[in-house]
Structure 1
């Protein structure tokens, strides 16, 4: 056989393999994309290979905005329940608040899991409270809940106010230069110092050292590249393929950093018999629980890898969400000076009653500040949607729509928050929406920035308290105005689920 003939045969074999592979892929998708049609559920069309959503590396709006647009499209069509696709996976979504209440709360036993892929063996840091499900989640949630009681929050409050003083001193020093502030960066330093102390018992000193490892790692977590987003999408929807390709959800340097911090801190405390009132101490106590009733992996006792995972999620949740919320509060107040002045008047009045001290009780009295924070969370929820996974076949009440076991459910938080059925002129910033009277007249599930039900954000009260301390530290002494470096309208990064503004939010701060 001649060399030419051999090459032709090889080429033909290769062509046959490619055609066969493409045929298999196309047939798979054709079958997958008939899932909702075969079940008589309204659905949005999908294209191969990405499904209904845009390719993660070619997205022109943020994922939160894209999910919001899907919600709006369904509302226009008059759909209460519908399906769409991510890659080949069927996703269920509802626009009906009563159904959302059932999924998140009333019939929670059918939707215990979030549906987030966790590869605990290859990447144990991903097996944290936010992601895991089942019995382990229940046990850990029960163990962690006391960390966020009023008593424990009061114990941590001094740490927050100390960080607030550092924030105030830093701004006071820098404001004399008359330069605009990248406010998210500054508030990121504030949040990093708080979480570093409350979670790890470490002094980060972010204002003195903005390049400290915690700050750098925090920024790295939420600034994914397009390739990382692509890998993450595949990992969430094709976990077996992701394992085969050895995809990781996190940069290995992140895992190495947090593992070293936790291991070193635990060794130091146990060797020197150091006890602190913080999150890490709770984990150490769980690790050393030796009454014999616990089983490895049940969430009642912890390995060092499991401790690293819980510390990791405590850090990323507390660092990013609070700094983001405070950033958008100050952005909106810079555009609404009358609202800003009303907030400031409340702060000054209440602090005067408490001899000028920022205390746990004085913050609790600042109701209008809380209205401003809530309205900000409505417009800019830290998570624009949340997910649940059906763990047992479920029929939506009052319908014949069945959500089958293993199907994921998306709860479109941002879509609900911008729904004109619940909020007139939703693009307008109006804290009056959150007076006691207005809240009572509105379905409580029309405002769910922290989720709802048994899996509501465990650190919600801590996050609000942290945000209040930061905002009070700034607003009591500084007038905030918008700097021209802030590009409007705001454009959000397409590489982050949490809303991040391209080009940053730049503000002028003027000493009062």
Structure 2
């Protein structure tokens, strides 16, 4: 089992307060909200320290996470102001630059419809952000061929594997054994790399006397040199939204207090290293899991997109993203469902008694507050395994049970970098959701496979695909840069009819075909009239399909068929229906296609049933780019109340309100549907004739709303039943 599974299993076996042994050392597990509050807030002075052992690693031992007593209190008072609202506002443009670099990496992959491994991609973003915001340096984190050393050593930090097993084993023997063995949890090559990297940046800073940096390292150096300025630390409007969910940050330390505390060079290195350790894997994991959930839940993704649009798509304004409640809720729910750590550890600094249950905790005992249990307890979060951002919306917060949510810890020792992590996550999410559409692919794991023996919650891979839903980008690709994106696909259907069809339509030929369509509509009329007289319910999908099949047979093949014979359907109709009823063939085709062009050619699987291509043959003798028409056509920013059918939108007097390049039922640019004129002529002719003669109305069989069929190549519904009568 994973660490998270072990923690939750202990709760199910033993309850909200239980004891286990870590080697020869007892550990108390607690998941009672009232005790969580008392011990982390009211009696925090007893449970201040996180551990009482050495990591045998100076960077680890001197980091804020592992300092104890007054040393922790002093360093916290120095570091807290570096994450104030004012400092976050100054760093925000740096994060935006990092997101732009991510966008440059993602756009061609979205255009080519590549599957993206989000864990690696979001890890590259957070590494870029850390390098820029913590160390003031820009690195190439998106080079797939030659990964940056920052990325390589960053991944090594959390890929501890066997080292974690050995570390836990040694820790169970006590502090003396740990110190004597000298074993380090973090690989020495990692700490050596980051120590040298940080030291070289510090040396470079000393020579740049006229250049003022706005990154975290500079803030720590200013604190060391007694020159840290906290005068700009004003609260951000809307920040109370985050504080209501995650708790408050203590960033109010004044300059006089900071200047009384001495910081060593080791403290500077350790503080910079912990910025990396705390900010790389956790935020990258949060973002990849958030986009994974959005890809699985189209409604939530659309709601988030609509919220971002209400703020004019502003992701580059620190104050604006603080006001996006649904964005906040999506992040909060992701952190609840996928809390990075299973539990928060504290050490009792003195004997302590839990009065409510009469339990005595001796000095030095480890106490674990079980985050996993609290976040997944159905008493606090109904259907806890369901991702539901609505839990954290302002109008539902009164339903949340206090002290059951702690992804950033709780009380005075909560995560000092919480504001930074949230700012980074919100900025990246707002930008990407505003531009891209995320959706699942055959490679998307449902559910995700959790990795074992990981210090932080981790998954094997998170694969999704990005689509483009930006009208300006659609215009550029489909019109301006059409020569680059001429082809619809790079693969073969293994079917000559699919690969070779290229009909030609012109106004003259449409005019010549129009009388043929009129004849077809007359035959439809002959079929409908007796039904209208008897006021029978008509299944319109089948009936209009018969009309279009009659038109195609007459106009394309010059033959007349009996498409309205209910007792003995025409073979044209039967094989025509088979063309689009692909079902399992579509699943197999997508699977084979995902394995590459070489495999597909070897397998020679055909999407269209061979019987269909054989019938019509005898009768007649790169990369992907998906433009999200569904998103464009149903976006309330372009079409208010998008689910309402309103022909007024397209009347001449309203066309100036239409947003260009958001409407493309026949495609766009030189490769739009070549048969568009024919389809429109057929539809207009049939509609004008039928509406002129018949009145259509709903009946008891009319489905409202229509039931859409799954796994269909084209949008399809089970049945469309309406009534018909003569006018």
Preserved CA contact (<8 Å) 1:262 1:307: no
Q: How does 1:5-404 map to 2 (within 5 A)?
A: 61-75=1-15, 80-115=16-51, 117-119=53-55, 123-208=58-143, 211-226=147-162, 228-237=163-172, 238-273=174-209, 274-289=211-226, 300-352=261-313, 356=314, 358-404=316-362
Q: Are the structure 2 counterparts of residues 100 and 326 from structure 1 closer, same or farther at C-alpha, using a change threshold of 3 Å?
A: same
Counterparts of 2:260 and 2:39, CA distance in 1:
24
Please say which of residues 197-206 and 232-241 is displaced more in the overlay: 232-241
The offset of 1:63, in angstroms, is: 0.7
SS at match of 2:282: helix
Aligned to 2:431: 473
Q: 1:461 aligns to what SS in structure 2?
A: helix
Cα offsets for 1:228-265 (capped at 9, x unmatched): 11222134332311222221121111111111112111
Separation in 2, partners of 1:64, 1:304:
36
Q: Does the residue aligned with 2:406 lie in a helix, a strand or coil?
A: coil
Matched positions, count = 435
Query: Cα distance 1:255–1:299, how it changes in 2: closer, same or farther (>3 A)?
Result: farther
Taking the aligned partners of 2:150 and 2:296, their CA distance within structure 1 comes to 32
Following the alignment from structure 2 to structure 1, what is the Cα–Cα distance between the partners of residues 77 and 265?
Answer: 19
- 8 A contact 2:54–2:179 mirrored in 1: no
The structure-2 alpha-carbon separation of the partners of 1:302 and 1:456, relative to structure 1 and needing over 3 Å to count, comes to same
Contact kept? 2:164, 2:185, Cα under 8 Å: no
State how far apart, in whole Å, the 2-side matches of 1:150 and 1:204 are: 26
User: RCO (CA 8 Å, sep 6+): is it higher in 1 or 2?
Assistant: 1
**Aligned with 2:437: secondary structure?**
strand
Return the offset for 1:495: 2.6
Distance 2:46 2:127 in 1: 36
User: Matches of 2:337 and 2:168 in 1, distance apart?
Assistant: 26
| Contact 2:440 2:465 (8 Å CA) reproduced | yes
User: What is the SS of the residue equivalent to 2:217?
Assistant: helix
TM-score in terms of structure 2 length: 0.58
Q: Is 2:440 the partner of 1:505?
A: no
Residue 447 of structure 1, aligned match among 398, 405, 428: 405
Conserved 8 A contact 1:64-1:497 = no
Q: CA-to-partner distance for each residue in 1:127-175, whole Å, 9 max, x for gaps? A: 2001111111000101111111111110000001111111112111222
Gaps of 5+ in 2: 228-258, 470-727
In the TM superposition, what whole-angstrom CA distance separates every residue of 1:461-492 from its partner, at most 9, and x where no partner exists? 11111001111222111111112223332221
Larger radius of gyration: 2
Question: Counterpart of 2:164 in 1: which secondary structure?
Answer: helix
Distance (whole Å) between structure 2 residues aligned to residue 463 and residue 454 of structure 1: 18
Structure 1 stretches of 4+ moved >6 Å: none
1:406 aligns with 2:406: no
* Residue 460 (structure 1) aligned with residue 395 (structure 2): no
Aligned residue number for residue 15 of structure 1: none
* SS in structure 2 of the partner of residue 234 of structure 1: helix
In structure 2, C-alpha distance between the alignment counterparts of 1:232 and 1:480, rounded to whole Å: 40
Give the distance between the partners of 2:370 and 2:60, measured in 1 at CA: 27
Q: Is the 2:315–2:430 Cα contact (8 Å) retained in structure 1?
A: no
CA distance in structure 2 between the partners assigned to 1:190 and 1:174 by the alignment: 16
Distance 1:125 1:421, change over 3 A: closer
Q: CA deviation at 1:116?
A: 5.5
Residues of 2 paired with 1:206 and 1:105: CA distance? Answer: 40
Per-residue CA shift, 1:273-293, capped at 9, x if unaligned?
Answer: 243122211222333359xxx
1:497 to partner: Cα distance:
2.3
Structure 1 residue 307, shift from structure 2 partner: 1.6
Distance in 1 separating the partners of 2:395 and 2:52: 38
Find the residue that maps to 1:388 and give its secondary structure.
strand
Does the residue aligned with 1:445 lie in a helix, a strand or coil?
coil
Residues 357 and 377 (structure 1), Cα distance of their counterparts in 2 relative to 1, 3 Å cut:
closer
Distance in 2 separating the partners of 1:412 and 1:301? 35
CA deviations on 1:193-225 (whole Å, 9 max, x unpaired) are 111111111112312476111111111011112
Instruction: Specify whether residues 116 and 329 from structure 1 end up closer, same or farther in structure 2 by C-alpha distance, changes over 3 A only.
Output: farther
Q: State the shift of 1:313 in Å.
A: 0.8
Structure 2 CA distance for aligned equivalents of residues 350 and 72 of structure 1: 44
CA–CA distance in structure 2, aligned partners of residues 495 and 486 of structure 1: 23
Aligned twin of 2:560: none
Q: Residue 99 of structure 1: CA displacement? A: 0.5
Gap runs ≥5 in structure 1? 1-60, 291-297
Contact 1:104/1:111, CA 8 A, preserved across alignment: yes
Name the stretch that deviates more: 234-243 or 361-370: 234-243
SS of 1:449 mapped into structure 2: coil
Partners in 1 of 2:459 and 2:466 — Cα distance?
A: 19
Q: Which residue of 1 aligns with 2:450?
A: 492
In 2, the alpha carbon distance for the partners of 1:72 and 1:375 equals 23
Q: Secondary structure at the match of 1:351?
A: coil
